[in-house]
Amino acid sequence: MTLSSGALAQQAAPAGDAKAADTRMCIGCHGIPGYHTAFPSVYHVPKIAGQQPGYIVSALKEYKSGARWHPSMRAIAGSLSEQDMANLAAYYGEPAAK
């Protein structure tokens, strides 16, 4: 059996659309400067605005797969499609992101 080069090629990541990003799940924690949460332990929640889009997508994929662990982030990332992740990364990766 022979595989065509098309079958071997990986699918490109979707392009993100900042205007299509649904930030409602993110802004409650990541949009508050200096925010700390107490679940599952007390820690500082990072502000993600201005972060590199590739890093955001990578982090979300790691939460979704379980490679990174946080119960809230695992649940949120688990509900996101690759397009959703790309859209959020495009939105938060913009310098003017809120």
CA distance 28 to 75: 15
1 is a domain residue: no
35 is a domain residue: yes
For the segment 28-55, what is each residue's pLDDT rounded down to a tens digit? 888 888 888 777 677 788 889 999 999 9
Q: Find the DSSP H helices in the chain.
A: 5-8, 24-30, 53-65, 71-78, 82-93
Range of the domain at 47: 19-93
13 is a domain residue: no
Residue in the structure block whose two tokens are 């924690």: 29
pLDDT score of 84: 97
10 is a domain residue: no
- pLDDT (tens digit, 0 to 9) for every residue of the chain, 98 residues total? 444 444 434 456 688 999 999 999 998 888 888 888 777 677 788 889 999 999 999 999 999 999 998 899 999 999 999 999 999 999 999 776 55
Could you tell me the pTM of the whole model?
Answer: 0.78
| Number of independent structural domains in the chain | 1
Which 3 state secondary structure label does DSSP give 2?
A: coil
72 is a domain residue: yes
Count of all residues that appear for the chain in the document:
98
Provide the CATH number for the domain around residue 75.
1.10.760.10
7 is a domain residue: no
